[in-house]
Amino acid sequence: MGKILGILILAFCALICEAAIFRPISDSHRSAALELLTPKDGSFTSLKETYEALRTFKVLGIGHQFDIKAKSCKSVVDTVGSPSSTLKDLFQALEVNGILKCELSKETFAGITSRLKDSVNTASSLLDYYYSIGSLVLIKGQTSEVDVHLGGADSVFRAIKALSQSDGRWRYSSNNPESSTFAAGIALESLAGVISLASSEIDEFLISLVKNDISKLLDGVEKYDDGAYYFDEKLVDAHGHQSPLSASSAVVRGITAFATASDEDLNLPGDKILGLARFFLSVGIPANAEDLFYQLDALTSLENNRVSIPLILSLPTAVLSLTRKDQLKVNVNTVLGSAAPSLSVKLKQIFSSGSKDASIIDQDLKFDPENAVHFLDALPENIDVGSYIFSLEIVLDNPEDKMIYATGGRTKVPIYVTGFIKVDHPDVAVLDSDLGNVETQKRFDLAGKNTLSLSANHLQKLRLSFQLTSPLGNAFKPHQAFLKLRHESKVEHIFVVENSGKNFEIILDFLGLVEKFFYLSGRYDIQLTVGDAVMENSFFLLLGSIELDLPEPPEKAARPPPQPIDSTSRFGPKAEISHIFRAPEKRPPKGLSLIFLALVLLPFIGFLVGLLRLQVNLKNFPKASAPATFAILFHLGIAAVLTLYLLFWLKLNLFTTLKALGFLGIFLMFVGHRTLSYLASSSAKLKSA
């Protein structure tokens, strides 16, 4: 039985992997584009970024949100007119010009056309061919006044074809033996350009060789389990690593361009074309502007190609409620969200998670032309809650459309059917351990209106039981059914509630759980958790509490583990710190302070009296106006310094005092130097006299 169940689970997992929902381009991409592609100061950083942004806006139908034409066109004109511009610079400038329609004269086009033709004839690498031929194709689309046709197109075609490999990939140059998937994409695009620029038709044999290369290239495409195809790039060299998104985009652009230019039927398998479209859509919304450009550029090539236009089947929602009687709704659009041709959608099979067999439905969905949606009135009667795989098929009404559109056969999509699960006989009982007799039995309320209060000792048992029934009356097993006992010391114990059919029951024998409970007596909260993704009434319920009387722990009994510290208390806001200043020291009496001040001033007063008694000699004090002024200012500065000391003692702090002292020091140094210089010169004159 276990092996059979394992096989069923593996089979359904395989179906889940194959089933996926791919949605076309939506308004979410437009919002992402406006967020990712924002110019700075009226322009983007490079012509490459400018073209990618303009191309993205054009594909998404976004109007002129930013005024970048003036600066971008100036950059285009400067690049095209500069003789030092590389082939890559010219190519990117012409790409931007193709969208902005900048004012380029006929002489400008003629000058760069001549240079590009010379580059084609002297090219030595694939990138040289790609940029020069691509630029000529762009000029052909922007003006008809310049002759861009290639005279020796066959030789150019052969030169590019010579770089191809046996597996359909290309080399960047004849000196590089490594092949690249990304190089294959730009090579096919270059060959398409040669065909469109050729003055005469290319040899059909060469065209057939390239068709064979495309077939080999598609033979090496990688595949995901959900049906998405992609090209992987294994080469890492000077050209940089190309992601699967950029490599796949280059190949798609190259194949569609070659198919359009050659007007040949490439006989490409529709499932791989659709698989490539699914790969680009599976990316969702890329995280950067470059990947968004690759995605949209490739999808645009698939939308407008003449090989096979993929149709995408998508669902507005993959969750259907039996309670609300939801309808299955299906949308069919192109990759960019355009309307599909006249078609019908059939529900072919339904795979259930509980069975390896599939229900054969083969029912047509109805079509609502007003909302452009296909819908199923009601789900089949045997559909209960659970996860399913719906197998849908697109059938084109017009047989001619089969040559234009790729539907990919049957499409498997995951569907989740939800419903209200009925809970019956919810009981909690305390049993006698010996005979199993019910000592106390109570019914708990799912609405949480009544709270249970139970008590038990280590010789008794706790039994919890209930029944779960699906909307169709079948047994329902949820993903989660847990019983949790939480001690008042926050020690928790979680138990899985097992089931047998509809019945769920758990019996806790407290005698065998005393060690697990760490002999902790006291109050335990009882919590029941029942939940499932398809259960609309999942619940987390506090049933009540039970008072447990457990024996005393022995000496070597295990102690409860330390409880984890709440992260909110560790990293949350801390209590405000209130600083307590030191109490001021006790000051002496006022009279004693005045006596000390008088004693301090007494020597200064004696100094002044002594000066008066000795009759101070002021003969050397300068008498001229300018030296006298500096002398007076010098003495006033000294007085100001003494006054600053007094203020520092009374009320000023150290920082304010030092700042003022710095300015006074500079002042004193200036006026003192002038005064002393005058006195020195006067003394020298007296000695010489």
- Indicate if 202 and 60 belong to the same structural domain: yes
Q: If you search the block for the tokens 């039981």, which residue do you land on?
A: 465
Q: With contact defined as beta carbons under 8 Å apart, do 414 and 21 qualify?
A: yes
Task: Report pLDDT for 609.
Answer: 84
Q: Environment class of residue 5 by beta-carbon count within 10 Å: exposed (0-12), middle (13-18) or buried (19+)?
A: exposed
Under a CB-based contact definition with an 8 Å cutoff, are residues 36 and 288 in contact?
Answer: yes
Which has the higher per-residue pLDDT, 434 or 100?
A: 100
Domain count, the chain: 4
In this predicted structure, what is the pLDDT of residue 354?
Answer: 62
pLDDT digits (tens, 9 = 90+) for 282-328: 999 999 999 999 999 999 999 998 778 999 999 999 999 999 999 99
**Which residues sit opposite 545 in a β-bridge?**
453, 525
DSSP string, 185-230: HHHHHHHHHHHHHBSSPPPHHHHHHHHHHHHHHHHT-EE-TTS-EE
* pLDDT band at residue 237 under the 50/70/90 scheme: low
**Is the pTM for the entire model greater than 0.85?**
no
Contacting residues for 462 by C-beta, under 8 A, at least 6 apart: 428, 429, 430, 431, 454, 456, 507, 508, 510, 546
Q: Is residue 589 part of a domain?
A: no
Residue at 567 is within a domain: no
CA distances to 140, 160, 299 from 242, in Å: 29, 21, 18
Predicted pLDDT of residue 100: 93
Report pLDDT digits (tens) over 471-524.
999 999 999 999 999 999 999 999 999 999 899 999 999 999 999 999 999 999
CATH at residue 97? 1.50.10.20
pLDDT in tens, 433-482: 766 688 888 998 887 777 899 999 999 999 999 999 999 999 999 999 99
Q: How confident is the model at residue 17 (pLDDT cuts 50, 70, 90)?
A: very low
Q: Please state the rounded mean pLDDT for residues 361-374.
A: 93
Interior/surface letters 340-372, b for 16+ CB within 10 angstroms, e for the rest:
beebebbbbbbbbbeeeeebeeeeebebeeeee
Q: Are 412 and 488 members of one domain? A: no
pLDDT tens digits for range 557-586: 888 888 777 766 677 777 788 777 777 788
> What is the pLDDT averaged over residues 585-589?
84
Clarify whether residues 381 and 299 are in a common domain.
no
586 assigned to some structural domain: no
Burial 632-654 (b: 16+ CB within 10 A, else e): ebbeebeebbeebeeebeeebee
- Per the prediction, the chain carries an average pLDDT of 89
* Domain match, 527 and 655 both: no
Read off the pLDDT of each residue in 188-212 and give the average, rounded to a whole number: 93
Q: How confident is the model at residue 138 (pLDDT cuts 50, 70, 90)?
A: very high
The set of residues, in sequence order, having a beta carbon less than 8 Å from that of 222 and lying 6+ positions away, is 229, 230, 231, 232, 244
Residue 409: which residues within 8 A CB-CB, separation 6 or more? Answer: 271, 393
The average pLDDT across 137-154 equals 92
The answer on pLDDT for 218 being more than 90 is yes
Per 3-state DSSP, the chain is made up of helix, strand and coil in percentages (nearest 5) of: 40, 25, 35
Q: What is the pLDDT of residue 576?
A: 81
DSSP state at residue 579:
-
The token duo for 438 is 């019910």
* pLDDT tops 60 at residue 3: no
Q: Is 591 within the bounds of a domain?
A: no
Closest CA to 465 of 493, 427, 414: 427
**Confidence bin at 405 (pLDDT 50/70/90):** very high
Last residue of a domain, one of 418, 452, 487: 418
56 shares a domain with 105: yes
pLDDT, residue 580, reads 78
Residue 34, phi-psi category: left (phi > 0), alpha (psi -120 to 50), beta (remainder): alpha
Does position 11 have pLDDT exceeding 60, yes or no?
A: no
Q: How confident is the model at residue 689 (pLDDT cuts 50, 70, 90)?
A: low
At residue 356, the pLDDT reads 67
The domain containing residue 254 runs over which residues? 22-310
What percentage of the chain reaches a pLDDT higher than 90? 65
Same domain for 216 and 131: yes
At residue 488, φ and ψ (nearest 5 deg) are: -65, -15
* 5 found inside a domain: no
Going edge to edge, which strands form the sheet with 452-457? 452-457, 539-549, 522-531, 480-487, 492-496
**Last residue of some domain: 418, 453, 476?**
418
CATH number at residue 506: 2.60.40.10
Section 413-420 average pLDDT: 96
Residues 337 and 361 in one domain: yes
Is residue 611 a part of any domain in this protein? no
What's residue 236's pLDDT?
54
Q: Is the pLDDT of residue 389 over 70?
A: yes
The answer to whether residue 205 is domain-embedded is: yes
Of the three residues 287, 310, 333, the one that is the final residue of a domain is: 310
Same domain, 292 and 320: no
pLDDT recorded at residue 341: 94
pLDDT in tens, 617-634: 666 778 788 888 988 898
pLDDT tens for each residue of 625-684: 888 898 889 889 999 998 998 899 888 898 899 999 999 999 999 998 988 888 888 878
Which amino acid would we find at residue 577?
Answer: I
pLDDT, average across residues 372-380:
93
Q: Read off the pLDDT band of 1 (50, 70, 90).
A: very low
Residues 44 and 84 in one domain: yes
For the chain, give me the number of helices (H) and strands (E)? 18, 24
pLDDT > 80? residue 12: no
- The enclosing H or E element of 15 equals helix 2-18
Whether 559 maps to a domain, the answer reads no
pLDDT at residue 9, as a whole number: 39
Do residues 187 and 160 touch, judged by C-beta distance below 8 A? yes
The string of pLDDT tens digits covering residues 33-64 is 999 998 888 789 999 999 999 999 999 998 76
Distance of CA 543 to the CA centre of its chain: 42
pLDDT value of position 336: 94
Look-up of token digits 């006044």: 145
Are 323 and 198 part of one and the same domain? no
**Same domain membership, residue 223 and residue 190:** yes
Q: Are residues 298 and 350 in the same domain?
A: no
- Cα 313-320-534 angle, rounded to 5 deg: 125
